[in-house]
Amino acid sequence: MPTLFSRIIAGELPGRFLWRDEHAVAFLTIAPIRAGHALVVPIEEVDHWLDGSPELNAHLMSVAQKVGAAIQEAFEPTKVGLMIAGLEVPHVHLHLVPIHALHDLDFSRADANPDPAAMDEAAEKIRASLRAAGHIEVSD
Protein backbone atom coordinates (compact mmCIF):
# COMPACT_ATOMS: atom_id res chain seq x y z
CA MET A 1 0.00 0.00 0.00
CA PRO A 2 1.47 3.39 -0.98
CA THR A 3 2.49 5.76 1.79
CA LEU A 4 1.00 9.21 2.19
CA PHE A 5 4.21 10.62 0.72
CA SER A 6 4.08 8.26 -2.27
CA ARG A 7 0.58 9.53 -2.98
CA ILE A 8 1.77 13.15 -2.78
CA ILE A 9 4.74 12.37 -5.05
CA ALA A 10 2.40 10.67 -7.55
CA GLY A 11 0.09 13.70 -7.59
CA GLU A 12 -2.82 11.84 -5.99
CA LEU A 13 -2.72 14.30 -3.08
CA PRO A 14 -1.73 17.97 -3.25
CA GLY A 15 1.70 19.16 -2.25
CA ARG A 16 3.66 22.40 -2.39
CA PHE A 17 6.70 21.05 -4.18
CA LEU A 18 10.05 22.80 -4.09
CA TRP A 19 12.37 20.24 -5.72
CA ARG A 20 12.05 17.14 -7.87
CA ASP A 21 14.73 14.95 -9.39
CA GLU A 22 14.84 11.27 -10.32
CA HIS A 23 15.49 10.12 -6.73
CA ALA A 24 13.99 12.69 -4.38
CA VAL A 25 11.48 15.47 -3.88
CA ALA A 26 11.14 18.31 -1.42
CA PHE A 27 7.86 19.89 -0.43
CA LEU A 28 6.42 21.93 2.41
CA THR A 29 4.95 19.98 5.28
CA ILE A 30 1.22 20.42 5.86
CA ALA A 31 1.85 21.14 9.57
CA PRO A 32 4.83 23.49 9.75
CA ILE A 33 6.63 24.19 12.99
CA ARG A 34 7.80 27.44 11.41
CA ALA A 35 7.23 29.08 8.02
CA GLY A 36 9.43 27.37 5.45
CA HIS A 37 9.42 23.94 7.16
CA ALA A 38 10.14 21.52 4.32
CA LEU A 39 10.55 17.77 3.89
CA VAL A 40 13.07 15.97 1.68
CA VAL A 41 11.65 12.58 0.69
CA PRO A 42 12.99 9.78 -1.49
CA ILE A 43 10.76 8.71 -4.34
CA GLU A 44 11.54 5.11 -3.40
CA GLU A 45 9.46 3.92 -0.46
CA VAL A 46 11.92 3.29 2.36
CA ASP A 47 10.52 3.21 5.89
CA HIS A 48 13.64 3.82 8.01
CA TRP A 49 16.69 5.85 7.04
CA LEU A 50 18.85 2.97 8.25
CA ASP A 51 17.34 0.84 5.46
CA GLY A 52 18.23 3.30 2.69
CA SER A 53 21.27 2.61 0.59
CA PRO A 54 24.32 4.76 1.32
CA GLU A 55 23.88 6.31 -2.14
CA LEU A 56 20.24 7.21 -1.48
CA ASN A 57 21.01 8.66 1.94
CA ALA A 58 23.89 10.69 0.47
CA HIS A 59 21.57 12.02 -2.23
CA LEU A 60 18.90 12.97 0.31
CA MET A 61 21.50 14.86 2.32
CA SER A 62 22.73 16.62 -0.83
CA VAL A 63 19.19 17.73 -1.67
CA ALA A 64 18.63 18.77 1.95
CA GLN A 65 21.75 20.92 1.81
CA LYS A 66 20.59 22.70 -1.35
CA VAL A 67 17.02 23.21 -0.15
CA GLY A 68 18.33 24.18 3.30
CA ALA A 69 20.54 26.86 1.75
CA ALA A 70 17.47 28.23 -0.06
CA ILE A 71 15.50 28.25 3.21
CA GLN A 72 18.41 30.05 4.90
CA GLU A 73 18.40 32.72 2.20
CA ALA A 74 14.61 33.06 2.06
CA PHE A 75 13.87 33.24 5.79
CA GLU A 76 17.21 34.34 7.34
CA PRO A 77 16.98 32.14 10.44
CA THR A 78 19.91 31.63 12.78
CA LYS A 79 20.23 28.09 11.38
CA VAL A 80 18.26 25.59 9.34
CA GLY A 81 17.64 22.61 11.60
CA LEU A 82 17.72 19.11 10.16
CA MET A 83 15.82 16.27 11.81
CA ILE A 84 15.08 12.68 10.81
CA ALA A 85 12.29 11.50 13.09
CA GLY A 86 10.23 9.25 10.84
CA LEU A 87 7.44 8.48 13.27
CA GLU A 88 4.60 10.26 11.48
CA VAL A 89 4.76 8.53 8.07
CA PRO A 90 6.51 5.20 7.36
CA HIS A 91 8.57 6.75 4.53
CA VAL A 92 11.98 8.33 5.13
CA HIS A 93 11.81 12.12 5.32
CA LEU A 94 14.23 14.80 6.41
CA HIS A 95 12.72 17.81 8.15
CA LEU A 96 14.31 21.16 7.30
CA VAL A 97 13.18 23.85 9.72
CA PRO A 98 14.33 27.48 9.88
CA ILE A 99 15.23 27.94 13.56
CA HIS A 100 16.37 30.58 16.01
CA ALA A 101 16.38 28.37 19.10
CA LEU A 102 16.16 24.68 19.96
CA HIS A 103 12.45 24.92 20.82
CA ASP A 104 11.85 25.71 17.13
CA LEU A 105 12.28 21.95 16.52
CA ASP A 106 9.45 21.02 18.90
CA PHE A 107 6.70 19.24 16.96
CA SER A 108 4.13 20.22 19.59
CA ARG A 109 4.46 23.74 18.15
CA ALA A 110 3.36 22.64 14.65
CA ASP A 111 0.53 24.58 13.05
CA ALA A 112 -2.19 22.08 12.12
CA ASN A 113 -4.11 24.72 10.12
CA PRO A 114 -1.59 27.00 8.40
CA ASP A 115 -2.83 29.83 6.20
CA PRO A 116 -2.79 28.56 2.58
CA ALA A 117 -1.67 31.95 1.24
CA ALA A 118 1.25 32.03 3.69
CA MET A 119 2.19 28.48 2.66
CA ASP A 120 2.13 29.45 -1.03
CA GLU A 121 4.27 32.49 -0.26
CA ALA A 122 6.78 30.40 1.71
CA ALA A 123 7.02 27.86 -1.12
CA GLU A 124 7.61 30.57 -3.71
CA LYS A 125 10.31 32.24 -1.59
CA ILE A 126 12.19 28.94 -1.38
CA ARG A 127 11.72 28.20 -5.10
CA ALA A 128 13.00 31.68 -5.96
CA SER A 129 16.12 31.10 -3.85
CA LEU A 130 16.70 27.71 -5.51
CA ARG A 131 16.29 29.26 -8.98
CA ALA A 132 18.66 32.10 -8.09
CA ALA A 133 21.25 29.48 -7.09
CA GLY A 134 20.90 27.91 -10.55
CA HIS A 135 19.07 24.73 -9.61
CA ILE A 136 17.04 23.30 -12.49
CA GLU A 137 15.27 20.77 -10.24
CA VAL A 138 12.92 23.43 -8.88
CA SER A 139 9.28 22.36 -8.97
CA ASP A 140 6.55 24.80 -9.96
Catalytic site positions: 93
Answer for the pair 36, 79: CB distance below 8 angstroms, yes or no.
no
Handedness of CA 73, 140, 22, 3 (dihedral sign): positive
Q: Which residues, listed in sequence order, are joined to residue 20 by a DSSP beta bridge?
A: 25
Q: How many helices (H) and strands (E) would you count in the chain?
A: 3, 5
Say whether 95 sits in a helix, a strand or coil.
Answer: strand
What lies within 8 Å, CB to CB, of 27 at 6+ separation is: 8, 15, 16, 17, 18, 38, 39, 41, 139
- DSSP state letter for 84: -
